[in-house]
Structure 1
Amino acid sequence: MRQEDEVLSDSFIISLVVQAYGRAEDVEYGLRVHTHVFERGFCSDLFVRTALIDMYAKLDFVRVAERVLDKIEEPDLVMYNVLLGDYVRVGEVALARRLFDEMPERDLVSWNTMVHEFVSSMIAGYTKSARPSEAVKLFYEMQLDYVRPDGVVMVSVLSACGEMGALGMGRMVHEYIVRNRIEVDVKLGTSLVDMYAKCGDIENSLTVFENMVVKDVYTWSTMIVGLANHGKGELELDYFAKMVSLGIEPDDVAFIGALSACTHVGFVERGRTLFSSMNDVYRIEPKIEHYECMIDLLGRTSQLEEAKELIKNMPFAPDAVVWRALLSACKRYKHAKLTEDATVKLLELDPHSNENYVLLSNMYSQTKKWSEVANIRRLMRARDIQKIPGSSSIKADNVVHEFTAGDKSHPKSNDIYDVLEEMSDRLYAAEYELVMSSVL
């Protein structure tokens, strides 16, 4: 078209071309077309200037977009709204607020853009700061105020549902996405896979995964880790192999899932092969999480000396999780010398963790070393270390109820304990024997 001068002398066509390079995120040709705009004298055209603002913002050159706006003597509301929307899209909250305050006039688009920005940011903030219930509550309020969320908001809401394990709520969010025809791109699809897996519905997680047309390495990794957490080791390894066969190189997260799968199904040799391939084949330097998986795998399959040697040869200092994994294996196979070594290292690294003391006490209980159990109890009291009570939560009628061990604060606690007592009676009637060796 550039060879035909009369064709590209239309400012409307030029504005479409400029927008196209912004959407394609093509920096090189975006700069070239701006040069063409300058050479052809279109810099003063309203459509072209608006398109340039949009293009630079989409290329993440928001400061350049701002300079284009500043050079316009009397920018109209459309130009302001375009830049405002792009500030919001790239997460420049402060710039968006400043521009909004400086705008000579505002319309419904301006206000909706800012409302959407702050609500979206708050939902994402609640989710990232481990306050998922507030994130979901804000999502409901957003709907009551007729503010329609986009895919970015839905990703945060689904993440909140996954963190709470609120399957019913997650399903409602999924239905909302379908009903409102929100585009399920790779990121949103991956969030759905993750939500269903974390909420215990691995079948729906697999269904969403299989229905996704486009999957990236994060989608595959999420599915693989989800299968690992559900103990579906063999299926998880099948998915890992399928991902590799499709030419998608696994990332470090996918390897964590695959190594966990080997642990669940006891595939020691395959675990060794996968671990070696990280560096040898994929040039991925194993992180401490990968070493933890391998030590857990070796420990569970009684390869204790190999596990100890792997710890010794790690390129970084082992953390408490590594020694805890080894200690758990020692407990299982009653290896006295390694138990002592792991115990010393564990208490050096993490002397205030109640979990370490509980693990040690249970291990001594299992070997009937009651004096050592008593020493652990005395040490905990001396260091003022309290065992954190176990807790659980359940959602009923859109309300999340949280319980801790021995808790009687719930208004229906009497009914709850009656049911627990009935369950205990049935267990005794079925001749179930309590395992007292692991009770602190």
Structure 2
Amino acid sequence: MLHKTAIYVLESLITMYSKCGSLSYARYLFDRSPNRDLATWNSILAALSQSADTGVENIQEGFSVFRRLRESIVSTSRLTLAPVLKLCLHSGYIWASEAVHGYAVKIGLEWDVFVSGALVNIYSKFGRIGEARALFDRMPERDVVLWNVMLKAYLGMGLERQVLYLFSEFHRSGLRPDDVTMRCVISGINRVGSDKCSRYLEQVQAYSTKFSMYNNDSDVFSWNKTLSEYLQVGENWLAVECFLNMIRSKVKCDVVTLVVILSAVVGTHDLGLGKQIHAFAVKSGFDFDVSVANSLINMYSKSGSSGLEEESVNLFRDLLDTGLVPDQFTLASVLRACSSLREGLSLARQVHVHAVKIGRVADRFVSTALIDVYSRSEKMEEAEVIFHKKVGFDLASWNAMMFGYITSNKSHKALELLSLMHKIGETANEITLATATKAAGSLVALEQGKQIHGHGRQIHANVIKLDCSSDPFVGTSLVDMYAKCGGIEDAYCLFKRMDVKTIALWNALLVGLAQHGNAQEALNLFRYMVSNHVEPDRVTFVGVLSACSYSGLISETYGYFSSMHKDYDLCYELTNDN
């Protein structure tokens, strides 16, 4: 058994790496832990929920971890359900939220203030306002954050009069309103209009003055607690409003304030706001605090194609100019940002040189990040140099190398790595198997289909052995591989067994059918997909139009092309995809 101190250190490392954007490293630590207590499981669930907005794969992985947790440990806590409910919110699956709600009832946590608050927020966001209000009314204890969530839900649904009725109840509760409360109420009054509401507005303003909304008698700890609560229930914009009210109240922020609000900004996807908070951090003198700097680097590196990833690199340079020595985590975050930039390879090489200079290049996390950025740039020779110098086995590095080989049209080398991994007795994970399956599928055009089919069956056997067959990404990769190899029956069987059918899964089967001349089956699958309220995307229509083309269905081609444009607004995207 791990010593309690070692377990605590492990949990702290998982939390630290996830907060700074290095989910792969957090997952690596979790996977390598021989003995996991509930706190360790909670740490990785929190890490996955914090990264839920960066990709659906993190959401599905979070659900998978939660299932494994329930199989491993009898009791769970509010710290378990809070991140799982956040995953439900990001997934858009109301059934998942209802399932977790039922589980909360079963284990006696339905009325926990954090769990019930998150459920009210989820039901509201999904338009189930009646269920949200019913749950709200049954709650034995309601704080101002929960009242605000309910007020904002009514406002968002256009139920302004319900906002005013609910505020009257809030007034009778004796709780003290905050700035968010008053903004919701005033917005509701303004939308309703009428002379009566004007008088009501005067009363509300007097009520606000009575409570001295903008005094500075609250300490920073209380404000940080409220900010964290909003972040925990997924209300990023309410967290932003709370932060603005904190500034107006002239409460002095600390490092925790800025780290929390920067996490909220990532969830809003408002980079303009992020830059304003960055400026505030500079003005307040916190920009060179390592925790704040890491949060800023994380925010900019997650900015996608907005061009602001370079800000994280510039911030890194500023840190160096002040004489601070970056740790391995900071270096890894900057390298991740480099992988999204046009000049990223050149910048990554500069970071590489600095890592060598300060003796960090051999660090597991830095070397893995370097392998990842070189692999994504198709510089496999440089990636291989670092990979072969690594001491010990690091699954994240192996996965990065396999991905790089695929993007560099060297899929056979990816399969060789998987074979070597088995020979040395190391265990693959879902990412490894999904990548290997993609490698097998991509070799179809170069080798005999049956031979690759054999590779795929070996990988499939490992998937079953590791109990990953229900993982949506592994399953989708297998369906795609079998379909490309002409194993349509195998692809169909896998498709039917998948519990969660993502659009990528539907597309894999549909495109495979079209490519192998099964046009009518492909079109039937498309109709069935639409009848199940699954919205097609660009890839779906590529498969549909290909099926029509292979079969000479001219009139059907025109009809689907017209539907793509009129019903799904995809014509421009498709015709501009080269």
**Given the two structures, how large is their TM-score scaled by the length of structure 2?**
0.46
Higher normalized helix content (fraction of residues): 2
Distance 1:255 1:219 in 2: 14
Contact 1:236–1:261 under 8 Å retained in 2: yes
Tell me the equivalent position of 1:335.
Answer: 518
| Structure 1 position 94 matched with structure 2 position 268 | no
**1:24-423 matched pairs, under 5 angstroms:** 25=6, 93-94=255-256, 115-130=289-304, 131-164=308-341, 166-266=344-444, 267-280=452-465, 282-314=466-498, 316-347=499-530, 348-351=532-535, 353-383=537-567, 385-387=569-571, 389=573
Q: 1:230/1:382 Cα in 2 relative to 1: closer, same or farther (>3 Å)? A: same
SS at the partner of 1:164?
A: coil
CA positional deviation for 1:244: 2.1
Name the TM-score, length of structure 1 as normaliser: 0.60
- Residues 148 and 388 from structure 1, CA distance in 2 versus in 1: closer, same or farther, beyond 3 angstroms? farther
Is the 8 Å Cα contact of residues 186 and 214 (structure 1) preserved in structure 2? no
Deviation string, structure 1 residues 48-70 (Cα, Å, up to 9, x no partner): xxxxxxxxxxx9xxxxxxxxxxx
Q: Give per-residue Cα distances to partners, 1:77-102, cap 9 Å, x unaligned.
A: xxxxxxxxxxxxxxx9518999xxxx
How many angstroms apart in 2 are the aligned matches of 1:250 and 1:97? 34
Check the 8 A contact 2:258/2:292 in 1, yes or no: no
CA-CA distance at 1:229 after TM superposition = 3.0
What residue ranges of structure 1 are gaps of 5+ in the alignment? 1-20, 29-58, 60-91, 99-110, 391-403, 407-438
What one-letter code is carried by the residue in structure 1 that aligns with 2:483? G
Q: C-alpha displacement at 1:171, in angstroms?
A: 1.5
Q: 1:286 to 1:226 in 2, by over 3 A?
A: farther
Cα 1:257–1:378 shift into 2, 3 Å = closer
In the superposition, relative to structure 1, how do residues 405 and 325 fare at CA in structure 2: closer, same or farther (>3 Å)?
A: closer
* Conserved? CA contact 1:320–1:350, under 8 Å: yes
Note the alpha carbon deviations across 1:87-135, whole angstroms, 9 max, x for none.
Answer: xxxxx9518999xxxxxxxxxxxx8996222112110222234352332
Pairs aligned (count): 297
User: After alignment, is 198-207 or 351-360 more displaced?
Assistant: 351-360
Contact 2:402 2:436 in 1 (8 A): yes
Q: 1:252 Cα shift?
A: 1.4
Aligned equivalents of 1:206 and 1:118: distance in 2?
A: 34
Identical positions, percent: 20
| CA distance in 2 between partners of 1:285 and 1:295 (Å) | 11
**CA displacement at 1:174 relative to structure 2:** 1.0
Paired residue type of 1:156: S
| SS at structure 1 position matched to 2:428 | coil
CA drift at 1:193 = 0.7
Contact 2:434 2:477 in 1 (8 A): yes
Q: Which amino acid aligns with 2:481?
A: L
Q: Which amino acid aligns with 1:158?
A: L
Query: RCO higher in 1 or 2 (8 Å CA, sep ≥ 6)?
Result: 2
Matched-pair contact (CA < 8 Å) for 1:193–1:209:
yes
Specify the code of the residue in structure 2 equivalent to 1:224. Answer: M
Distance 2:490 2:8 in 1: 52
Q: Is residue 256–residue 290 contact of structure 1 (8 Å, CA) maintained in 2?
A: yes
| Residues in 2 aligned to 1:333 and 1:346: alpha-carbon distance in whole angstroms | 20
SS of residue in 2 equivalent to 1:360: helix
Which amino acid in 2 is paired with 1:150? D
Give the partner amino acid of 2:548.
Y
Q: 1:181 to 1:387 in 2, by over 3 A?
A: farther
Instruction: Read off the aligned partner of 1:132 and give its amino acid letter.
Output: E
Q: Which moved more, 1:341-350 or 1:372-381?
A: 341-350
Is the CA contact 2:514–2:522 (under 8 Å) kept in the aligned structure 1?
Answer: yes
CA RMSD of aligned residues (A): 3.3
Amino acid at match of 1:250: A
Q: CA–CA distance in 1 between the matches of 2:8 and 2:488?
A: 55
Shift of 1:180: 3.1
Q: Deviations over 1:382-435 (max 9, x none)?
A: 325034548xxxxxxxxxxxxx959xxxxxxxxxxxxxxxxxxxxxxxxxxxxx
Could you say what secondary structure the match of 2:340 adopts? helix
* Post-superposition offset of 1:286: 4.1
Instruction: Tell me if structure 2 keeps the 8 A contact 1:124–1:135.
Output: yes
Radius of gyration: which is bigger?
A: 1
